[in-house]
A and B are shown apart, each in its own frame.
Chain A
Amino acid sequence: MADRRGDQDGEVSRVVGCSVPGPSHEEDDVRCQDAWYGDTCQDSRFVIAVGDGLGSATLSHEGSQLATEEAVSELKQCLEREESIDQQAMNRSMKRAFGVCKQTLTDRAAELEQPPEALNTTLLAAVAGPTGAAAAAVGDGGVVYHHEGTHNLLIPRERTEYANQTTPILSDHWEDSFRFGYRDDIEAVALFTDGLDPFVWDTDSGTSPRETFFDRVFSYIRSTRDWDAATEELCQFLNDELFREYSGDDKTIALGVLPRETAPTRVHDGGRRTVELFDRIRSWL
């Protein structure tokens, strides 16, 4: 248990992210269909979920929001029941959580008297803490972890023949697309939707994280001292002209960073867009 000597010496987990509409959707006056949500537990563990509503689904902006919030809620409850992040247990928990999300979307569609497919979305989720990190996904996008200066996939990239194909969570075949990954030691993790695909995958094989992109993102998160500005900075980054020029799709990135030592956390804001949990930031440099 960390020494609680107050704000000056503590360091806690940080979760921050941003979703922005793509220029293609702005032109067509379509709402952003990406969403993300995150939360932490008292022992510096955190949960993040990211979703990308299907373009063909009329209410997918609501679907992605609902799925990410439900996933975080389910996984947080799971973490509160378990002392550590165990690989096998988390695999089961992730699958269960995704099943609950699927049912939540179906129930919501029924309330709205819409077919379930109207809320269809991809879903990616990650949990992390001092005892390990686990992630799962159905659909495209990705989860990349940072550890000792290197980046790697926490889950494999979705394998489809065509770039514009994906298996969303309400598909009958969602379990075939379910990917799970685990590591017993990470420092930070990033979840993102496929709107960032042109920039996040390596140029040789398209299956590994792009060094330039993740060097910058993790370096920024590790060195930032102004967390009030961090969300704004991420949003400006996603809205950069370079990204908008080459990707008309909605874009989301959500990041979680573990403290160097475990410490109690205090929830400042459980809001949807930003969950910032820190008393004081110790320098990583």
Chain B
Amino acid sequence: MNGNRETNRLEAEGIEPMLERTPTVLLLDTSGSMAEATQATDGTSKPKIAQLNEGLETFHREVSEKEHAKKRVDVAVVTFGDEPFVTQEFTSIEDWTPSTLSEGGRTPMGGAIELAIELVDDRKEFYRENGIQYNRPLLWLLTDGEPTDMQPDDSAWNTVQGLLEDGTRNNRFEFFAMGVGGAQMDTLNELVAEPTGRPAFRIKEGMFLEYFQFLSNSLETASDPASGDSFTMGKEQQLEQLFQVE
């Protein structure tokens, strides 16, 4: 007993922590255009898909090194190339081994967004059923093109916009869209800016690695209980280095 009369001490040992989770979905474009080479910031020319895979490894490593994040972040991966696909179901970042992604197919972005939102809803239900506290889910989309499974104002487009708007308005998740390389930023902004209240960001050429470092820093903040509910995307200097103002 920890209230011994002779040496009365209050001990914390053995009180196992129950930590809240921060669910994160990476929506990654793995369409055929990701085979094209671009110059990375280290000066080398590599296919975008190779830079994406390196970025995933960096993301995994950096989050795993952040004390509070590594114990709290749950990650899922949805790719969209041949078809929208759950490459990784939700798992803790500590149990995740990024798989090597390959490119191919078109850009079924709409289907991927719907799939990601469904994943998030199911995950929250899992948390609730198991008495697990959680933070607002974060969805990060990265594309080098534009959606090929929907067009502005068709029914699929309207459905996706409706989901994004509903999710944002009702605080069901936070959604971030990033374009890289040949991304059609006008189309991307038309899709996400109004429903999410946030524009799409263009990542500067070749900055895949830096994007995933930025992602890991953002998750460190998001999963830190001391930072409260006000999620910010990072310091202004970091944003200016990474994103190109349109």
Contact = CB atoms under 8 A, between A and B. Distances in A.
Interface of A: 22, 24-25, 54-56, 161-166, 194-195, 197-199, 201-207, 210, 212-213, 215-217, 219-220, 222-226, 233-234, 236-237, 240, 242-243, 245-250, 285
Nearest to B232: A56
The dominant DSSP class at the B interface is loop
A104 B20 CA distance: 33
Interface residues of B, number: 35
B12 A24 contact: no
Contacts of A243: 12
B123 interface: no
Given A161-B171, A162-B134, A206-B18, A216 B226 contact: no
Contacts of A247: 17, 225
Given A206-B18, A220-B3, A163 B225 contact: yes
B236 interface: no
A108 B176 CA distance: 38
Given A206-B133, A223-B3, A248 B15 contact: no
B133 A197 contact: yes
Contacts of B3: 216, 219-220, 222-224
A6 B131 CA distance: 51
Given A24-B68, A163-B20, A205-B131, 18 more contacts: A22-B226, A24-B226, A54-B228, A56-B230, A162-B134, A165-B229, A197-B133, A201-B18, A203-B18, A215-B2, A216-B2, A219-B3, A220-B3, A237-B10, A240-B11, A243-B12, A246-B17, A249-B225
B70 to A, nearest CB: 11
Give the one of B3, B11, B67 with max A CB within 10 A: B3
Contact of B5 (A24, A198, A223): A223
Contacts of B15: 199, 210, 212-213, 216, 242
Contacts of B132: 206
A162 B71 CA distance: 17
8 contacts: A25-B226, A162-B229, A164-B227, A195-B226, A206-B132, A217-B10, A219-B1, A225-B8
Contacts of B12: 199, 237, 240, 242-243
Nearest to B128: A161
A22 B226 CA distance: 8
Contact of B13 (A203, A236, A242): A242
A163 B131 contact: no
Nearest to B16: A203
A103 to B, nearest CB: 24
Contact of A24 (B4, B11, B16, B224): B224
Contacts of A24: 68, 224-227
A202 B15 CA distance: 11
